[in-house]
Amino acid sequence: MKLQILSIFIATIFTHNIALTYLLGMCPFISLSRSLKTAWGMGLSVIFVVTLTGALNWIIYHWILVPTQSELISYIVFIIVIAASVQLLEMILEKFLPGLQVSFGIFLPLITVNCVVLAVSLFMVIRDYNFIQTVVFAFGSAVGWTLAITIVAAIKEKLSLSGDVPKGLQGAGITMVIAGIVALTFLGFAGMVAIQ
């Protein structure tokens, strides 16, 4: 059991990285990887929101939707839960931690449309995870996503100092080339662990 949870955690970061193998969360990946600082800020907010909504959605799905046989509307419920928790988080931050709100504030509304958040909830249903597995999976996926975006952002920062990027490839294009190379290296982790 413990081993299985550990292997889910390692898999979500290295072998089954949600950004680099499932290609999810690409919109913020492309627009926010300009600097290491923004990438890191977005990453931290994603870790928090994904873990929170993964757990909430598991509880709602298994305690409310399954008993009432309304799995049909699960997509709607998931996205409302995500939107609501992001809103709530924003309000809490504003009230109690105004300092943090200034640095995270710009990222929070963007998280609702970050597909990583919804994807974690959908994967947890498809793979039939229990509660602990879901939390570990959600946390690991977000950490993996953060790892990927910070690596890419770091490379881009270096590149902006030295490299000449051809016109047309600047911005989104070069980000994808870098992400592709990083994804290629992550393929080397394949087979390290297996997940259900």
Which residues of this chain interact with another protein, rule CB under 8 A?
16, 20-27, 30-31, 72-73, 75-76, 79-80, 83, 112-115, 117-119, 122-123, 126, 166-169, 172-177, 179-181, 183-184, 187, 190-191, 194-196
Q: Which is nearer to another protein, 41 or 173 (CB)?
A: 173
Q: How is 58-124 classified by DSSP, letter by letter?
A: HHHIIIIITTTT-GGGHHHHHHHHHHHHHHHHHHHHHHH-HHHHHHHTTTHHHHTT-HHHHHHHHHH
3-state class of 194 per DSSP? coil
CB closer to another protein, 99 vs 168: 168
Min. distance of Cβ 94 from another protein in angstroms? 16
Q: Rounded CA gap, 151 and 82, in Å?
A: 27
Q: Identify which of residues 97 and 181 has a Cβ nearer to another protein in the complex.
A: 181
- Shorter beta-carbon distance to another protein: residue 75 or 97: 75
Min dist CB 181 to another protein, Å, is 7
Smallest CA-to-CA distance from 30 within 187, 195, 181, 175 is with 175
What is the Cα–Cα distance from 124 to 119, expressed in whole angstroms?
A: 8
> Measured from the CB of residue 145, what is the shortest distance to another protein in angstroms?
12
Rounded to a whole number of angstroms, the minimum distance from the CB of residue 31 to another protein is 7
Give the separation between CA 85 and CA 105, rounded to whole angstroms.
14
Residue 154 DSSP one-character state = H
Q: How far is the CB of 15 from another protein (least distance, A)?
A: 8
Q: Which is nearer to another protein, 23 or 59 (CB)?
A: 23
